[in-house]
Structure 1
Amino acid sequence: MNNVLGYYLMPHPPIIIPDVGKGEERKIEKTTNACNKIGAEISDLKPETIIVITPHATMFSDAIAISDEDRISGDLSQFRCMNVRMDVPIDRQFNEKLSLACHFEGIPAAKVDTDLLRKYNHGFKLDHGTMVPLYFVNKYYNEYKLVHVTYSLIGNMSLYKFGMEIEKVAEELGRKTVIIASGDLSHKLKEEGPYSYSPYGEKFDKEFLEGLEKGDVNSLFNMDSTMIEEAAQCGLNSVYILLGAMEGTKFRGELLSYEGPFGVGYGVMRFAREDEESSALDLLIKSKEEKMRKKLSEGNPYTKLARESLNYYFTHGSKIKDISNLPAELLNKKHGVFVSLKKFGALRGCIGTIAPTTNSVAEEIIRNAIEAAFNDPRFPAVHEEELEDIDISVDELMDAVPATREELDPKKYGVIVTKGYKRGLLLPDLEGVDTVEEQLDIACSKASIDSGDDYQIEKFEVIRHKEGE
């Protein structure tokens, strides 16, 4: 008997709650109806434990957080709503079993409480990513204990395996359980949304929901990384955990509603496991190994050299000296070069040079790859075992030319600001940098220049090389 009785994807827009929406919630009536349907369905299932996976409680970069006190409470006062409050008991026995299982399986997870969170200046409380889905559950049913999970950027495979442990613990305890993956889809569906419009937004939502409907785990784990980053979504990692909880059998998703009138995609879905056994885990492991093989053997020579530089440094403790066998395009050009390292979509290191400091682009890449891994003051040094989860990009900087504000375009041009000995640079086409003012403000901040001061502006173009291209 499967003790996990239901699997759901639910969005968490506070505006859907009438006391917050003040009438605007009527624009997402289909979402409201679908969430009510799930609430009534969960009431019929009568679970003892509800697990909510949220992106909006305190998130740690290196471990999944499991809230662990006798009770947890919260309200929506940050959204000017004083009437919606929750106080729910926590299933600490489930927490203990889950934490222990993760320890034995090497999955980074930690129980968190008031004392621990206080050290990080955070409170132990329910977040809106949990409260909005539970708002629709509590209308129909409240005889449950909660397992409150905040996902972490530890990689899709670790999240999937965490989901597998959730399912195992439910079985071991004989606990009637429901799992809710809380997450909104793209926040870039419209210019008037919370982020600027991106064509990747609608594309992500379509591919994501289609993959879930088909039960195609492999497609969901191999979505285009640029599309995921550009979509500005917060549901994918919650779903990775949900998918792991369904490991072992085929499944299908039933889309109950999808809307996006405010520029954010809201998808509501229920999942049904089928009788046919099917393991996605082996396929996912093989797919990850194949991705790594391609990074090492295929693609452009720029990112390949950056990766080879890191591999060589970890093996020999020094940088590559013999570059005679490299392609001529790397040896015959001199440019400033930035090397960026991203781990699970989050920046892990970035160091570069505005103008060439060596005799070739090749030497610039070798040097700056090592600098990005070990000497970016914002991050601890990269460990060798992290390399398989890191994606590398290399930006060649073309010569900078003087510019006025009117000549800038943050998507096309990078910018350099200079005042006396102070100098700051910002690359073009960065996530979240959509206006000239934003670009200049960040560049000035990096240089410790007051944005109201007079300073010189230069613009430059880059040639960006990414792994897999």
Structure 2
Amino acid sequence: MNPFVFACMAPHGGEIIPELQGVYPERMSVTRESMKMLTTFMSKENPDCLIILTPHGTRIHGQFAITDSERMAGTVEENQASYAMERLVDRELARMINKCALEEGIPSATINFGTVAGPISCLPLDWGVIVPLRFMPDVPIVVINPARELSFDQHLEFGKALGKAVKQSQKRVGLIASCDWAHAHDEDGPYGFDPAAKAFDEQVVDLIKTNQLEKMAQFEEGFIEAAKPDGIWQTLILAGAIPAEERHVEFLSYEAPTYFGLICAAYYSKRK
């Protein structure tokens, strides 16, 4: 079954945040409007907690990293402006996720900083978390970093353990897969241009629309390296957490206004 009250795929380009859009508000306007829709969908479900899957947070080599600090705080800077955020962590849920993963033999660990508890127990919030959370309800969070050293199958299995933990928690939990896609759309971008970027994003859009997320595990390594996405790993966790037969997808938008692709999609239980 689908244990989440709502799940979504959301991008994390800094300019999506209205306060950081600068003098070109139209540049990510399509995505910004889609994020407002995801806000409405998530808020309607009144979650107790949000789980965010990010490629940019604190990583542990060869293990899934799950936040277990008292709180998290961070800042995103873009266009001579900044946006700061602080959130409490649902430590009970974080530890339950880790326990379920370890019981399945999946390499996983919780992480903390400073002190066991209290105001100094604070991990950094990265832009992969702050950008989508800017549009979401202010509730406790659990942030999870995938481990690219592990196989795609292990990401699917971790997703299954994640879903099991959420079901056991009996909490109203929302899930956000924070994903940007191919990063080689523009020769002036930091990764240059590669024609694989357009082809890759087209295939990703098709797999999302046809509810075949698991097939992203079949992308060839060379194709991935040429296109340079950062969304596959989080997507496969989402796919493991919500079985295909329980997923109903509403594809909201795709755009690549700069050097990387942006996708917004909503996932509901098919029973709704």
Give me the TM-score of the superposition, normalised by structure 2.
0.91
Deviation string 1:218-249 (CA, Å, 9 cap, x unpaired) is: 42221232211111111111101111111262
Contact 2:60 2:147 in 1 (8 A): yes
Where does the alignment leave 5 or more consecutive residues of structure 1 unmatched? 117-122, 276-469
SS state at 2:27 partner: helix
Picking from 136, 140, 144, the partner of 1:145 is 140
Secondary structure at the aligned position of 1:57 is classed as coil
Distance, in Å, in 2 between the alignment partners of 1:187 and 1:195 is: 7
1:41 and 1:96, CA in 2 relative to 1: closer, same or farther beyond 3 A?
same
- State the shift of 1:80 in Å: 4.4
Structure 1 counterpart of 2:143, which letter? Answer: H
After TM superposition, the structure 1 = structure 2 runs for residues 70-469 of structure 1, keeping only pairs within 5 Å, are 70-77=70-77, 80-82=80-82, 84-115=83-114, 124-137=123-136, 141-142=137-138, 144-153=139-148, 154-247=150-243, 249-274=245-270
Deviation at 1:72? 1.1
Query: How far apart are residue 81 of structure 1 and its match?
Result: 3.0
Q: Evaluate the alpha carbon distance shift between residue 170 and residue 89 of structure 1 in structure 2; reply closer, same or farther with a 3 A threshold.
A: same
Partner of 2:26: 26
Q: Which runs of 5+ in 2 are unaligned?
A: 116-121
Could you report, residue by residue, the CA deviation over 1:381-438 in whole angstroms, capped at 9, with x for unpaired residues?
xxxxxxxxxxxxxxxxxxxxxxxxxxxxxxxxxxxxxxxxxxxxxxxxxxxxxxxxxx
8 Å contact 1:159–1:244 — kept in the other structure?
yes
- The offset of 1:88, in angstroms, is 0.9
Q: Alignment length, in residue pairs?
A: 264
In the TM superposition, what is the alpha-carbon distance from 1:50 to its structure 2 partner? 0.4
Q: Which residue of 2 aligns with 1:411?
A: none
Corresponding letter in the other structure for 1:219: K
Secondary structure at the counterpart of residue 158 of structure 1? helix
Alpha-carbon distance change, 70 to 106 in structure 1, aligned in 2, over 3 angstroms? same
1:8 aligns to 2:8 (yes or no) = yes
Q: TM-score scaled by structure 1?
A: 0.54
Q: Determine the C-alpha separation between the residues in 2 that align with 1:52 and 1:243.
A: 14
RCO comparison, higher one (Cα < 8 Å, 6+): 2
Q: CA deviation at 1:130?
A: 0.1
* Cα distance between partner residues in 2 of 1:242 and 1:79: 32
Distance 2:54 2:157 in 1: 17
Deviations, residues 336-373 of structure 1 (Å, cap 9, x unaligned): xxxxxxxxxxxxxxxxxxxxxxxxxxxxxxxxxxxxxx
Alpha-carbon distance in structure 2 between the residues aligned to 1:181 and 1:25: 24
> CA offsets, 1:258-310, max 9 Å, x none?
111112100111123435xxxxxxxxxxxxxxxxxxxxxxxxxxxxxxxxxxx
Q: Check the 8 A contact 1:214/1:252 in 2, yes or no.
A: no
Structure showing greater radius of gyration is: 1
> Which amino acid letter does the alignment assign opposite residue 141 of structure 2?
L
Distance 2:22 2:244 in 1: 44
Q: Which amino acid aligns with 1:148?
A: V
- Shift of residue 6 of structure 1? 1.1
Answer yes or no: is the 8 Å Cα contact 1:3–1:175 preserved in 2: no
- For 1:209, the aligned partner's letter is V
What is the CA–CA distance in structure 2 between the aligned matches of 1:78 and 1:104, rounded to whole Å?
42
Contact 1:17 1:25 (C-alpha < 8 Å) held by counterparts: no
Aligned partners of 1:151, 1:218: CA distance in 2, in Å?
Answer: 16
Asked if the contact 1:250/1:274 (under 8 Å) is kept, the reply is yes
Say whether the 8 Å CA contact 2:156–2:237 is kept in structure 1. yes
CA distance in 2, matches of 1:266, 1:234: 11
Letter in structure 1 aligned against 2:94: N
Structure 1 residue 79 displacement after superposition: 6.8
